[in-house]
A and B are shown apart, each in its own frame.
Chain A
Amino acid sequence: MKIKLIELIKNIKKNIVGFISLTVFLFLAITLFQGLDFTGNSILHSIDGIFCDSNLYDVNVATSSLVTQNDVESFNNIDGVDEVEGYFTVSDDFTFGEKKFTASITSITSDVSKCVVTNGKVPVEANEIAIFERCADALGISIGDQISFTRKNEIGFLRALAFSESISSTDLNDTLNFKTESFVVTAFVTTGNPLNHSPNVHPLDTSNGIPVNAVFYAPYASFNQTITASGFNGLYLRSNELKQYKYFDEKYINESEKLAAKVKAYAESNLKTTIDYVTAFNSDLAVRQFAKDFLYSHGYITPEQYASDPLFDIAVNVIGNQLNALEKNVSFGKKNSILGTSVVTVLSNLFLDDRYAMGGVFFAISILICFSVITRLVVDESVLIGTKKALGFTRREMLFNYLVFSLAGVLLAVIFGNGMSVILETILVPSVLHKSFTLPRVVTYFDWRLMLIIAAISVVSIGLITFFACRGVIKKNAISLLHGESKTRKRSSKQRERSAAKSKNSLFMKTVLDGFFADGKKTFAMILGISSSLALLIASFSLKFTVADSFNKQYAEYFHFDTISYVNSNVPQAKENIENFFKEENDEYSPIYFDSCNITIKGHESFIGNIIVYFDNASFDALIHMDPSANNPSFDHKGIWLPESYQQDFKCPNESEVEVVETSGLSATSTTTGFYRFYNYDCILFIDAETYKEAFGEEARPNSYLVNRSKCDFDTFYEKANQVEGHMYSLDYYGRSQSDVGIFNMVLTICYSLYLAATAVLSLFVILNLLLTNVEEKKRDIITVMINGYSRSEAAKYVYYDSILQTFISLFIGTGFGLLLGWYGQVSLESKILYFIHTPNILSVVVSIPITIALVALMTLIALRRLKKFKLSDLTNA
C-alpha cells in the first residue's frame, strides 16, 4: 500500500502539468455547477431567512374599516391560526431636503412581521420612527434626522367615524395622522415584506392603493388615536404548522391558500361591523344613498351640498370598499402582492437554470478536455507501457495505475470544488441581492445529496474516460509500443512523385499539415481547447448583449412611452388639467386604466403583473406597437393580450383561460385573444374597455396616462407635473424598467464573468499546455533545422503554423458552438417576466473572435519563448 502511494505521488510529480490540468478543470466544473445551484438556492433560503427572522405573516388581512383588539383576538379561533396581531397603516406626505415624498407608515408589531433592525434602535417613544433601510439609502435619510408628516387623513377619520362610536363629530378638525408633529429616525429596518425592496415601488403596489416612496415604522401609540380609535386596519396571522415550510415550497403555497380561505370565510361572517355595510350595498346608487344619509345624520353636510362637497365622494369610496382578505398570490403569506419575491424567484431561477446552461456545459467541456489530457499522458508514456508489458505487467495493473492517478485528481477536485462552491455562494448571494434587498444574513446552502451525485458523476466519467484513453494504448503489443508510433501521414506514391515544393515555407507547411492529420488526438485536443474558449466567450458576450439588445428592442420597436402619470380622480377637472399639461409640453399621451393584478392561466402558476385598459386606439397605437408573436391572430384592438413568454413557457394556445384578480379584489375569468412580443421585465395584460366590462362586470375608468415625454428628463417633468391640479404621481416607467432589467444584467454579468474566468483558465491550462507540449515534441526537429542553419524565428514556423491552422478551424467550430450555447443561455435564462430575443447575437461573435485569436497568439508567443531555451548542443549531448 505504501509503495502504491509512493508510486502514485511519483507519477503525479512526473506528470504534474497533466494532473493539475485534470484537477483544475474538474474543480472549475464542480465549482460552477454546484456554485450556481447553491447560489440559486441560497438566494431563496436567505430571503426565507429574513421572513423567519421577522416572523412574517402567513395571511395578511387588510381592511378599509377598523377592527378592534377583540376582533383581532377572535381570529385565534380559526383552526390553523396560532398568532394574530393587528396593525395600523396610513399614507402620508413628508418633505426631506427640497423634495416631497409620500410614505406609508405602519405600526410596529411585537410578534408577527416584526421589524429586523439593521442599524440603530427600535423606536419605542411616540416621536420615534424607523425607516426601511433601502428607502433611507435612496432618499439620503440618516439616523437622527427629523421627519414630519403633514397630511390630513380625512379618509381615516371618516373610517373611524363610520365604524366606531367612540368619537364625535367635533373631532373632525383633528385629522392629522399622528399625535406628534415630528419624528426622529432612530433605526433602519428590514422586514419580511419584500414589497419594500425598492424606494420607488410601483404606485399601486401597496395594499391600500397609495403610491409611496418610503416605508416607515412607528410605535402604535404615535398614531392619532382619534383616527385609529383604538383599532387596526390590518391583521397579520401566523400558523405554527406553516413554519415548517420554506416560502417557495409548493406545500406552503397550497396550505396558505387553505388558511387564507378560512380566514376570509371567518372575516366575512364575523367582522360584522364592516360586512353589514358592505354586503348591504349591491349597487353604486345604494352606496351613495347611504353615504348621503350618514353624512347628513352626522351634520357634516346639507342635502344641497352633496353634489359639490368632496367629502361625499370620499365617504362613498370608504364605505364602498370591501373587506380585503386578499387571496393567494396577491396578498397572503410570504408570497405577497409584491414584485419582491417574484424578483427573488426569477433571480434564483437564473442561477438554477444557469447551472445547466453554464455549469452543465462547462462540465461536459471539462470532461472532454480531461479525456484529451489523459490520452496525451498515456500516449507520451507508450514506451514505458511497452517496457512494463515486456516486463510482465498486466493490462489491468497498468490501467489501475492510471485510474488511481485520475481519481486522485477527482478527489482533490471534488474536495476543493465543494469548498469553492460554498465560498462562491457566500460571495454571489449578497452581490446579487444587495441591489434589491437588505440582507441581514446569508443562509449558506449546500446540498449533500447534490455533492454526492456530482462526486459520483465525476468519478464515473473520469474513470470511464481514463479507461477509454488507456485502452487504445495498453492493448497494443509491447514491441510496437517500444518502437514508438510513427506519427506520419503517408502520402500516396503519386502525391510523392509530384514535384516537391520549392520553398522552405511550403515544406514547413507540409510538415505541419502532416502532423495535423497524423496526430489526431493532439489536433482534436487543441481544436477543442480553442473552440471551447471561443464558444464560452461568445456565450458570455451573448448573455451580456442579449439583455441590452432585448431591452433596446422593446423600446425601439414596441414601447414608445416612458412615463405613467396617475390622476387623482377625486380632484375635479383633474383629467382636463393633466391633458392640457401634456399638450403644453407637447407630450404624446394616451388615457389608460392601470392596476396591479394577479394573472393565472388555467393549469399553470400565477404571476403578478399589471393590467392596462386602453380607451383611445389612436393614441394607444402611437405609444404601444402591439406585435403578435408567431401563430397569433393580428391585433385589432380587441380582447385580452398577454406577453409571448407565457405562451412559450406554458405552451398554451392562443385562446387560453385566464383569471385576473386586481388589487381591489375585483376579478374576472376570461379567454385570451393572443400573445404579443415583449422583451422587458414586467408582465402586462392589455385589454380594451369593452372586453374589460364584459369580463369584470364593471366599466373601467381611466386613472392614468401613458406618456412619451418629448422634451425633458423625468425629474423636470415630474416637478412640472406636480404643479398640475389633479396630478397624483408619475412613474418613470422607462427608468424603472432599466433598473429592474439592471438587476438581471447584474446577475448575468456575474454569470458571464464566471464564463470569462473559465475561458481564461481554459486558455492557460489547455491551449498553453498543448502548445508547450507541441514545442517539446518538435524540439528535435526544430533544433535539427536550426543546427543546419535556420534561424530561431524561421524554425518557430513549426509552432505557429500549427497554431494558425488550428485556430482557423476552431473559429468555425467555436462560432457555431458558441452561437448554440448563447441561444441555449437565452432560452434557459429567460422567464415569464423577462424574455429575450432569440436571434444569434452577431456582436458577440465579432467581439469574441479577435479575443480568441489574441489569446491563442499570446499563448503561442509564450510557448515560443520555450524555443529560446533550446540549446543546440542538447541534440548532440543527448
Chain B
Amino acid sequence: MDSILKKHFRLISEVNDAIGSSKDLEEVIDHIFKIISEYLNAKYAVIWLKDNKGLLRPYFSNCPVDLIKKRYKTGEGIVGKVFEDGFGKSIIDFESNPNEEIKELYKGINIKSYHCSLIEDKTGSLGVMEIISDSSNFTDEELEMLELINILSATKIATLGRYKLDWDDKEVLVEIKDVCKTYNTGGFPTKIFENLNLDVYKGEFVVLLGKSGCGKSTLLNIVGGMDTVDSGSIVFNGVDFSNAGEKELTNFRRYNLGFIFQAYNLMPNLTVKENLDLIAELVDDPMDSVEALRLVGLEDKKNHYPSELSGGQQQRVSIARALVKKPALILADEPTAALDYKTSIEVLSVLENVYKNGATIFMVTHNEEIAKMANRIVRVKGGKIHEIISNRNPAKATDLEW
C-alpha cells in the first residue's frame, strides 16, 4: 500500500478513536490538537467558532497571544474570509510572504508557516482553524491531512459545540499591555518579561503556570500594584495604574484587591476574627468577618490565634481575609505551596467555592494539576507567555491528583 495512504488511514483511525472517546468538545479539541501536532509540524492552533451572534470567536487557542476578546465578522480578515468563502488560506513561507494582519494578530510569535481552513459539516460552516508552525513550512501532504482531520472532527465539533457552547461575554477587568520588566541584580540587568500582553476578565479563574523563576510572581506583583513596570500599561477597570504614585496604588489595593499569600501572613497577635477585622476596617462596606469565616468553614475558630490552627486552616483564614473586603480581584500566590496534598485540596475547594460565588481569581502556581481548575491557563516560560489555554471544563478541586 502506498505509504501516504497508510498514513492517511492511520490518521483517520486515530481521529475517529479520539473523537469517539471524547465526551466533550474540550476533549475533542484536545485530542485533535495532539494529532495535528503529531502529524503536522504545527506549534500553535486556534479554532474559531461561530457564536450565537454570528461572530467568529476563538474557542480554542494554545498560542501565547491572548485572543479571548478577538472577534471576526463573516468576511472580515483572513478568518472571516475563509469562513465566508469556504476556501482555505495558506501562507506556506510566511517569512518571505508576511501578512500584516496575521503578524499583528500573532505578535510575538515567530511564524514560519501559516494555514487557515474551514471547519464545516453537512449542515454548514462551523468555524475556522488556524495552524501556525514556527519551525518549518507546511507541506502539501500535511495540509491534506489537516483537511482530513477537519472533515472527521467537524461533525463531532458541531454536535458538541451547538449544545454545549457557553458564549458568556465577560467584561475585562485587568488589561496588561506590552509590559516590560527588567531587574538589576548585582549590577546585571535581568529581563523578566518583554512586551507581555494579557487580559483578565471578571468572574474568571486564571492560573499563571510556570516553573520557579519564570516571572509569574513578578507578574502577580505588578497586577497587585506592588511592583512597577518599565514600560507598558496595567489598566484596571479602565484606569491605568502603571504610572500611579504610592497613594493611588495603596487605594487601588485597598478597594479592589484581596491577597492570599503562600505563607498566610496572618498577624500572630490577633485572633482569626481580629485578623479579618483589621482588613475589613479598610472599606466602608465589608463582608461580615464571621460570614467570611463561614464561607471558608472556620466560623468556630474565630477566637483562635493563628498559631493554634493548622496550616490549611490558616490558609483558609487567609482566604477569608481576602474576601472580607469584597474585592474585585483576588490574587493568590502559590496558596498551597506550603501544604500537603490533603490540606491543599481543602484549600482549593474553598477557592473553588469562592470562585463559584462570583469572585475573579488570579492565581500563581507551578503545579500543572492545580492549573486544571482554572478557566484559563496562562503558561509562562522564560518571561514570556508560552501559551494561553482556555479551559472550558475546569476540574473540581476534589478531582485533582498529584
Q: Which residues of A contact B (CB under 8 A)?
A: 486-490, 493, 496-497, 500-504, 507, 510-511, 514-515, 518, 780-781, 784-792, 871-873, 875-878
Contacts and interface: CB of A to CB of B under 8 A. Distances in A.
B281 A504 contact: yes
Contacts, number: 104
A511 B269 contact: yes
A507 B325 CA distance: 17
Interface stretch (B56-64, B195-203, B250-258): B250-258
Interface string B34-61: 0000000000000000000000000000
B271 A511 contact: no
A788 B253 contact: yes
Interface centre among A489, A507, A787, A788 (most CB of B within 10 A): A788
Given A781-B267, A787-B226, A877 B253 contact: no
Given A789-B250, A877-B217, A507 B305 contact: no
B307 A507 contact: no
Interface string B259-280: 1011101011111011001110
Contact of B250 (A496, A786, A878): A786
Contacts of B283: 789
B220 interface: yes
Contact of B255 (A507, A786, A789, A791): A789
Nearest to B324: A788
Given A504-B282, A781-B267, A876 B277 contact: no
B279 A873 contact: no
A876 B221 contact: yes
Given A496-B271, A876-B226, A878-B263, 20 more contacts: A500-B277, A501-B277, A515-B269, A781-B265, A781-B267, A786-B250, A787-B253, A788-B321, A789-B254, A789-B279, A789-B282, A790-B254, A792-B246, A871-B226, A871-B227, A872-B221, A872-B226, A873-B221, A875-B265, A877-B221
A488 B305 contact: yes
Contacts of B224: 787, 872
B220 A791 contact: no
Contacts of B333: 876
Given A503-B281, A786-B250, A876-B261, A493 B217 contact: no
A790 B325 CA distance: 13
A299 to B, nearest CB: 110
Contact of A780 (B251, B265, B279, B321): B265
Nearest to A874: B226
B247 interface: yes
B218 interface: yes
A490 B259 CA distance: 26
Given A500-B271, A790-B250, A873-B227, A507 B282 contact: no
B237 interface: no
B270 A788 contact: no
A787 B259 contact: yes
Contact of A875 (B246, B261, B269): B261
A507 B270 contact: yes
Interface of A is mostly: helix
B226 A507 contact: no
A507 to B, nearest CB: 5
Contacts of A871: 226-227
B331 to A, nearest CB: 9
B303 interface: yes
Contacts of B259: 787-788
B220 A507 contact: no
Contacts of A873: 217-218, 221, 226-227
23 contacts: A486-B268, A486-B307, A488-B269, A488-B307, A489-B269, A500-B273, A502-B281, A507-B277, A518-B269, A784-B267, A785-B279, A787-B224, A787-B253, A788-B259, A788-B279, A789-B325, A790-B282, A791-B247, A875-B226, A875-B261, A876-B221, A876-B262, A877-B221
A758 B274 CA distance: 43
Interface string B191-222: 00000000000000000000000000110110
Contacts of A514: 269
Contact of A507 (B221, B278, B303): B278
Nearest to B277: A500
B262 A510 contact: no
A489 B278 CA distance: 18
| The 10 nearest A-B residue pairs measured at CB | A789-B254, A872-B226, A514-B269, A496-B303, A504-B281, A873-B221, A784-B265, A873-B227, A511-B269, A789-B282
Interface centre among A493, A507, A787 (most CB of B within 10 A): A787
Contacts of B257: 789
B246 to A, nearest CB: 7
A785 B142 CA distance: 57
A795 to B, nearest CB: 10
Interface string B85-128: 00000000000000000000000000000000000000000000
Contacts of A780: 265
Nearest to B304: A496
Contacts of A502: 277, 281
Nearest to B266: A784
A791 B217 contact: no
B197 to A, nearest CB: 21
Contacts of A488: 268-269, 305, 307
A788 B282 contact: yes
A510 B250 contact: no
Contacts of A515: 269
A791 B217 CA distance: 22
Nearest to B254: A789
Given A791-B247, A876-B226, A876-B333, A784 B269 contact: no
A574 B267 CA distance: 91
A501 B274 contact: yes
B270 A510 contact: yes
Contacts of B305: 488, 490
A511 B267 contact: yes
Contacts of B303: 493, 496-497
A774 to B, nearest CB: 14
Contacts of B253: 786-789
A489 B270 CA distance: 9
Nearest to B222: A873
A790 B267 CA distance: 14
Given A488-B268, A514-B269, A876-B220, A500 B279 contact: no
Given A488-B305, A873-B227, A876-B226, A785 B261 contact: no
Nearest to A486: B307
Contacts of B255: 789
Nearest to B265: A784
Nearest to B308: A490
A293 to B, nearest CB: 106
A500 to B, nearest CB: 5
A504 B250 contact: no
Contacts of A518: 269
Contacts of A792: 246, 250
A877 B224 CA distance: 13
A781 B279 CA distance: 12
Nearest to A497: B303
Nearest to B269: A514
A99 B128 CA distance: 121
Nearest to A787: B259
Contacts of A784: 261, 265, 267
Nearest to B259: A787
Contacts of B265: 780-781, 784, 875
Contacts of B220: 876
Contacts of A789: 250-251, 253-255, 257, 279, 282-283, 325
Contacts of A786: 250, 253
Given A510-B274, A790-B250, A876-B262, A487 B226 contact: no
Interface in B323-375: 325, 333
B317 to A, nearest CB: 13
A487 B307 CA distance: 10
Contact of A504 (B227, B262, B278, B321): B278
